[in-house]
């Protein structure tokens, strides 16, 4: 790894500080206008035609979870992901065809045909290495594939589909 040891502790430290700040701000700051806490804040907004469904972390955690470990080209070392199987998620909402558009916090948007999802494929991860993901650590949601399980998941298309900082899904 070309990452120099002198630099490596820095992001970790910063991470902890950031978490502390978040916690502090949550505790100290006056209630936001919509009155939502960090826990309660909606992570995902699903637009299903005219209907808009929002999910907070708890709602996602209530759903059956899938866990796998894999390396990614964007991270270092094996990562443990926990999330909802994409096929399950789509089936739950009766989405059987068409295209879903996934949009990230930075407005990065991709469109994926519904029938290209496989039961052994992508999950909507909300936990990485046992911890919820923040915006700084590619949260709140990350569409990850089990890259190590098959070379099918190591193509450029799949990499492009692996959208992080996901917060909106629009079913078309």
Partner 1 sequence: MAPRGASKETQSGTGSEAPRASLDAGVLRLAVLAGITALCLVVIVYLLTEVRQKLDELASSPADNMQWSLAQLEVEYLKLQDATSRARLAKLTREPQDLTARGAGPGGSGDQGETQPLPSALRELRRRYDILYARFETLGTASLYNRALRHPAQGGTFDRIRTEVYALAPLIDGSDPALTEALAVLDVRLEDMRPDLRRMLSMANLRLVAQSDTARLDVQSVLKGLAAASLVLLGALTAMVVLFRSLARVSQKRLEQKRVASARLETIFSTSRDAILMLDSRGKIIDTNRAAAEMFAISPERVIGQPVGRLLRRDGTDGSTAISGRALFDACAVGPRTGYRLIARRCDGHRIPVELSMDSSDSQGAPILVCVIRDISHQVAADAELKASRDKALAAERAKARFLGVISHEMRTPLNGILGAIDLMAENDDPAEGRRFLEVVRGSAQTLLQLVNDVLDITQIEGGDVAIRRAPFDLDALIDDILASEMPRARAQDNRLARIGAGATGWVLGDATRLRQVLLNLVSNAVKFTRFGSISVEPRQQGDRMEILVRDTGIGMTMEEAGRVFDDFVRLDGAIRHQIQGTGLGLGIARQLARAMGGDIEVASAPGKGSVFTLSLPLPAASPPVEPPAPNTEPGPVQVSPQRILLVEDNATNRFVARRLLERDGHRVTEAADGREGVAAAAETAFDIILMDVSMPVMDGFEAAAAIRAGPGPNRSTRIVALTAHVGEEVTERLRAAGLDDVVAKPIRARVIRRLLADPDGVRGPSRRLTPPQEALGPVRRMGPPDDSSEG
- Please report, as ranges, the residues that interact with partner 1 according to CB under 8 A: 1-4, 7, 10-11, 14, 17-18, 21-22, 25, 73-76, 105-106, 108, 134-138, 151, 154-156, 159-160, 164-165
DSSP one-letter code for 159 = H
Nearer to partner 1, 91 or 110 (CB): 110
Burial grade of 76 (CB within 10 A; 0-12, 13-18, 19 or more): exposed
> Which residue, among 171, 54, 163, has the nearest Cα to 107 in the 3D structure?
163
Nearer to partner 1, 32 or 113 (CB): 32
Least spacing, CB of residue 3 vs partner 1, in Å: 7
Non-local CB neighbours of 79 within 8 Å, separated by 6+ positions = 69, 70, 71, 72, 128, 129
Least spacing, CB of residue 99 vs partner 1, in Å: 21
Nearer to partner 1, 154 or 172 (CB): 154
DSSP one-letter code for 115 = G
Contact 132, 10 (CB under 8 A): no
Structure tokens at 106: 């930075």
Strand pairing partners for 103? 109, 168
Nearer to partner 1, 143 or 171 (CB): 143
Nearer to partner 1, 104 or 171 (CB): 104
Least spacing, CB of residue 108 vs partner 1, in Å: 8
DSSP one-letter code for 112 = E
Least spacing, CB of residue 135 vs partner 1, in Å: 4
Least spacing, CB of residue 164 vs partner 1, in Å: 7
């Amino acid at each position: 790894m070309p990452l120099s040891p002198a630099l490596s502790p820095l992001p970790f430290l910063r991470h902890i500080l950031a978490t502390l700040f978040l916690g502090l701000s949550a505790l100290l700051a006056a209630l936001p206008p919509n009155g939502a806490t960090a826990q309660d804040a909606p992570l995902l907004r699903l637009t299903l035609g005219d209907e808009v469904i929002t999910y907070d972390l708890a709602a996602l955690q209530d759903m059956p979870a899938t866990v796998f470990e894999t390396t990614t080209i964007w991270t270092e070392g094996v990562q443990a992901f926990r999330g909802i199987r994409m096929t399950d998620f789509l089936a739950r909402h009766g989405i059987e065809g068409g295209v879903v558009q996934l949009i990230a916090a930075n407005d990065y948007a991709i469109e994926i045909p519904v029938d290209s999802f496989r039961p052994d494929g992508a999950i909507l991860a909300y936990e990485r290495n046992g911890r919820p993901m923040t915006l700084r650590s590619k949260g709140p949601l990350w569409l990850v594939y089990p890259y190590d399980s098959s070379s099918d998941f190591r193509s450029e298309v799949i990499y492009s589909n692996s959208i992080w900082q996901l917060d909106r899904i629009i079913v078309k």
